[in-house]
Chains A and B, each alone.
Chain A
């Protein structure tokens, strides 16, 4: 049986860069060293590698997840370590995605997460379902899957040991903590790096759902570099809304306030606050108060 550590020493890149496994390259590649450390033995259940681990880069990721790679690339994907292991009758697949920043790792994690999952206290945030356990921590997104007897227990053990080895920060992006918690839909937060709501000019943005009764609203906080840029974003939004539906000024909502509706975004209210453009889609009756509370909470 080839042990994981030995396999990592000859790690190769699924055709994409089969000669990057030379010792010279490894010595200058901190990601490779880091990955080797994550999966060093001992591993839970004395799990053993089933084959050489594979390392994918932005050019080769599509070979592993095909068109699914596109969204990872949007979040500044750097490297993926893929390893199949076996422990007794259980099989485990470990995928560790290294992303550009903590925000990027959270962004791709959140893009694949559903609020309906069973959440677990691993990493900055994680969830478990039958045969899968995914979490993000620092600038890594870890996806574990397994099958066979006691696979779910094994996944939990793997997640905890990987979390310990990854280290770094275990928190959500800072801005999310500042948003009003009342009526927030748990685990609905997202970070959208590119084209939020289908508009390039809104990027990047944080998106959170709020619910009152059966009505669910979507809060979008578009982060510009400065107040002038936020105003420019608002102007572009107004242009889009006027072209595609109705849009009117609403000074009662605060700085740059507006109310609009069309067939795509539906009803929405918005305003600016410093370098932020804040939108609330499908606002409830208390939408104006929510918008105000969000504006006051932002730094």
Chain B
């Protein structure tokens, strides 16, 4: 966790201004609106239109899933955040309850854009039944939120073309929109290219919630697809912008990320102007202040530029999502996903014992020894993981300590 003494120069400037402004105005009013930001605020909050919805949102929003903290939602609103993203599945619905309770207490329902998501896993293959279950799920969300409608309703975790075009869910979304239970409909996905292309073709979704972070720097396929979707009129909301940097940095990123990484990563995502807003999942006041400092100025500080130029970080940040699609392209049938996990343990975790176990679990003839260091697997990775380089690093470990 970041210590105050480790803050960068920008944070030292921004945070006291924000707190001081809040403390002064709060003495007179219960809540600050973005438009009444104190005179000391240097620049207005950046806002962008959300596709064809007619909505305009501050570039930094709040992904509420990690924060069961009413005070944090209040502070987020006070700073100027107007879009709050939750889902039926977060805390089994408790997250929606908390969001709904706080928004009601603050009396600001008409000033915020609320998004929730409904999953369709375990739903019946029968379209009519799926539609009914989906609508029932949304009705339950509205009850927990204490709202008669949400602003954006996503079909949650749409991770295949078949999911995207599923008739029952689309009919349910359109029906709910027609009935005024949601103003706009969308989908959330981790399979950006396939699903967004299908969403463009279907031409029924107003918004898409997509993963976007600097591990995709070289993935022109993903970036171009998102841009294409935006140009087609779909509003783009970005998630996972900090690549798990604050909640689970060990899993995908180097252990000791500097605090400046969080603003740098968020700015990287928002500097793609096809993105309307991002929903970082901060869970502390400290991180809220830090993330929201981005909303007034997307220019990189010198420290942020240095961080993003760090080749070690970029190399380590390329993370294998274990989709397994590379496996079929390897002429040697190497078990690449397991080796990528081994790499994570060996290089990022420095946990040689786990790495050794992972490597040992590979079937005979499909491990490191089978890899001929060809580069075909690199082209097959959709997340730009440099498989060949990571395997080469593993082999270096092998020679030194991995199998001793």
Q: Any chain A CB within 8 A of the CB of B271?
A: no
Contact B87 A67 (CB under 8 A): yes
A residues 20-60 near B (Cβ < 8 Å) are: 20, 22, 24-25, 28, 58-60
Using CB atoms, name the residue of chain B closest to A112.
B92
Size of B's binding interface in residues, CB under 8 A = 59
Minimum distance in angstroms from A22 CB to a CB of chain B: 6
Chain B positions within 8 Å of A, measured between CB atoms, are 1, 19, 22-23, 26, 30-31, 63, 65-72, 74-75, 78, 87, 89-94, 97, 117, 119, 121-122, 156-157, 159, 188, 190, 239, 247-248, 251, 281, 283-286, 288, 322-324, 335, 337-338, 341, 357, 360-363, 366
Q: Are the C-beta atoms of B87 and A68 separated by less than 8 Å?
A: yes
Number of interface residues of A (CB under 8 A): 49
Q: Complex: how many Å from CA A244 to CA B157?
A: 38
Within 8 A of B (CB), among A99-129: 111-114
B157 CB contacts on chain A under 8 angstroms: 65-66
In the complex, the answer to whether B66 meets A244 with C-beta atoms within 8 Å is no
Complex CA distance for A158 and B337, rounded to whole angstroms: 35
Instruction: Please pick, from A15, A22, A58, A245, the residue contacting B324 in the complex, using a CB distance under 8 A.
Output: A15
Instruction: Return the chain B residue nearest A190 by Cβ.
Output: B68
Q: CB-CB < 8 A to A134: which residues of B? A: 92
B122 x A93 contact (CB < 8 A): yes
Question: A197 and B71: CB pair below 8 A?
Answer: yes
Q: Is the CB of B322 within 8 A of A16?
A: yes
- Given contacts A113-B92, A195-B67, 13 further A-B pairs with CB under 8 A are A15-B322, A18-B337, A58-B251, A64-B121, A66-B87, A68-B87, A93-B122, A114-B97, A192-B68, A198-B285, A263-B74, A264-B70, A264-B71
Task: Please name all residues of chain A whose beta carbon is closer than 8 Å to the beta carbon of B247 when the two chains form the complex.
Answer: 70, 73-74
Contact between B362 and A243, CB atoms less than 8 A apart: no
Q: How many Å lie between the Cα of A42 and that of B169 in the bound state?
A: 36
Within the assembled complex, what's the spacing in Å between the Cα atoms of A206 and B161? 44
Closest 8 pairs between A and B when the two form their complex, measured CB to CB: A264-B71, A112-B92, A66-B157, A68-B89, A198-B69, A195-B283, A16-B322, A198-B72
Which residues of the partner chain A approach B90 to less than 8 Å between Cβ atoms? 67-68, 71
Q: Which of A58, A244, A266 has the most CB of B within 10 A?
A: A244
Q: Which of chain B's residues has its CB closest to A266's CB? A: B71
The contact sample of 26 A-B pairs, CB cut-off 8 A, is A16-B322, A17-B341, A18-B337, A19-B363, A19-B366, A20-B361, A22-B363, A66-B188, A67-B63, A68-B89, A68-B90, A70-B248, A71-B65, A73-B247, A73-B248, A74-B247, A84-B122, A93-B122, A113-B92, A195-B284, A197-B69, A240-B285, A244-B285, A262-B26, A263-B74, A264-B70
Chain A, interface SS category: mixed
**CB within 8 Å for A263 and B337 given contacts A19-B361, A73-B248, A198-B283:** no
Query: Across the interface, do A198 and B91 meet the contact criterion of CB distance under 8 Å?
Result: no
Docked CA distance A112–B94 (Å): 6
Q: A20-B361, A264-B71 are in contact. Are A70 and B285 (CB under 8 A)?
A: no
Contact partners of A187 in chain B: CB under 8 A: none
| Residues in A neighbouring B26, C-beta threshold 8 A | 245, 262-263
User: What CA separation (Å) do A64 and B66 show in the bound complex?
Assistant: 17
Distance to closest chain B CB from A78 (angstroms) = 13
Taking the complex as formed, is A63 at the interface, i.e. its CB lies under 8 A from any CB of chain B?
yes
Please state if B91 and A111 are interface contacts (CB–CB under 8 Å): yes
Q: Is A170 an interface residue (CB 8 A)?
A: no
B361→A25 contact, CB < 8 A:
yes
B322 — which chain A residues lie within 8 A by C-beta?
Answer: 15-17, 59-60
Write out the residue numbers on chain B whose beta carbons fall within 8 Å of the beta carbon of A235: none
Instruction: Say yes or no for A292: interface residue by CB 8 A criterion.
Output: no
- Min distance, Cβ B67 to any Cβ of chain A, angstroms: 7
List of A residues within 8 angstroms of B121 by Cβ: 64
Bound CA–CA A262/B72 (angstroms): 12
Q: Which residue of B lies closest to A202 (CB)?
A: B284
By the criterion CB–CB under 8 Å, are A63 and B285 in contact? Answer: no
Contact B283 A111 (CB under 8 A): no
Contacts of A177 in B (CB 8 A): none
**Distance from B68 Cβ to chain A, minimum over Cβ atoms (Å):** 6
Assuming the A-B contacts A15-B322, A112-B92, are A70 and B281 also in contact, with contact meaning beta carbons closer than 8 angstroms in the complex?
A: yes
Are A22 and B94 within 8 A (Cβ)? Answer: no
Chain A contacts for B283, CB-based, 8 A: 194-195, 198
What is the bound-complex CA distance between A2 and B19, given in angstroms? 61
Q: How far is the CA of A59 from the CA of B344 in the complex (A)?
A: 11
In the complex the two chains form, is B156's CB within 8 Å of A66's CB? yes
Using A67-B87, A195-B284 as known contacts, say yes or no to A17 and B65 having CB atoms under 8 A apart. Answer: no
B323 touches A15 (CB 8 A): yes
* Across-interface contacts of A266 in B (CB, < 8 A): 71
* B31 in contact with A263 (CB, 8 Å): yes
**Known contacts A63-B159, A70-B247, A197-B69; A263/B78 CB under 8 A:** yes
Residues of B within 8 A of A195 (CB): 66-67, 69, 283-284
Cα-based distance from A266 to B19 in the complex (angstroms): 16
Per a CB cutoff under 8 Å, which of B19, B71, B281, B324 touches A265?
Answer: B71
User: Once the chains are docked, how many angstroms separate the CA of A114 from the CA of B188?
Assistant: 27
| CB atoms of B71 and A198 under 8 A apart | yes
Contact partners of A67 in chain B: CB under 8 A: 63, 65, 87, 89-90, 239, 281
